[in-house]
Amino acid sequence: MRTIPASELIINDDGSIFHLHLLPEQLADTVILVGDPGRVALVAEFFDTRECEVSNREFKTVTGTYKGKRMTVLSTGIGIGNIDISVTELDALANVDFATRQEKAQKRQLTLVRLGTSGAIQPDIKVGEFVFSRTSVGFDGLLNYYKGRNDVCDLAIEKAFMEHVGWNELLPKPYFIDADKTLFEHFRDVTREGITIAAPGFYAPQGRWVRLEPQDARLNEKIESFDYHGRRITNFEMEGSALAGLAALMGHRAATICTIIAQRIAQNVDTDYKPFVRKMISTALDKLAVLE
């Protein structure tokens, strides 16, 4: 069995994992992921009990219970790179023996649910709606670095999309990855289904033009008009593809749910979106509390 070198899996002197600073026993099987460290407190205030609070850089964690179920809430910061760190280290906490640096024979499956904010790119999606990313589209290229990428991705829709938009070969090859089917069915009654793009940036990668013009100023129009057997691309965010992809490769359940705070077609945004986010959090917690 492979022993993972110290340079590949860095363990701190106190036995915690390098970036998250968590000990294996501090991790619950149900993990809520948020981008903003300040949102961890917003989630944790719903908890009935708290057993630990850990903070390092942008990674803030609280583990406790909600309606009798043990849960962890973790802030990842913004972007795909931080998801690569967070999900890899969460998996290591669950499935690597830190004493031997070897994979555990008995694997532990985590349920990873990201709660975020997003901008809609279809005119019928309203600010305040909750979109469940049934499929995530990675504009980031992260999953292309991992063996098994094609085994978990939908290659047919990927090909159709690239042909539809005339994908620029300068950009990373996009990948389409589905959320966990059990989670999709579980949240179906409280969310709207969508195909969500995870972009590697907030501005040009999402078609925004401040001073620097995007490489393809019409890309968002092409994205909006893409139709795959009646399914449309619905919204932009910045983390969901890597979460879904890494989880699928590792054997975990994962999903992304976003509150819509901007309407890109109507070109409006609601900066007072906290009530929507709070409702999304309470709804998700109630659903996770009864998830098997």
What pLDDT is recorded for position 126? 93
Angstrom distance (rounded) from CA 238 to CA 198: 4
CATH node for 24-289: 3.40.50.1580
pLDDT digits (tens, 9 = 90+) for 200-215: 999 999 999 999 999 9
Q: What angle do CA 198, 79, 190 make, to 5 degrees?
A: 55
What pLDDT is recorded for position 86? 99
Q: In three state form, how does the secondary structure of 52-114 look? A: EEEEECCEEEEEEEECCEEEEEEECCCCHHHHHHHHHHHHHHHHEECCCCEECCCCCCCEEEE
Model pTM greater than 0.85? yes
Amino acid at 92: A
Give the relative orientation of helices 37-44 and 274-289 as an angle to the nearest 10 degrees.
60
What pLDDT is recorded for position 266? 85
Contact 229, 195 (CB under 8 A): no
Amino acid at 95: N
Weakly modelled stretches of the chain, pLDDT under 50:
none
What pLDDT is recorded for position 272? 85
Amino acid at 134: R
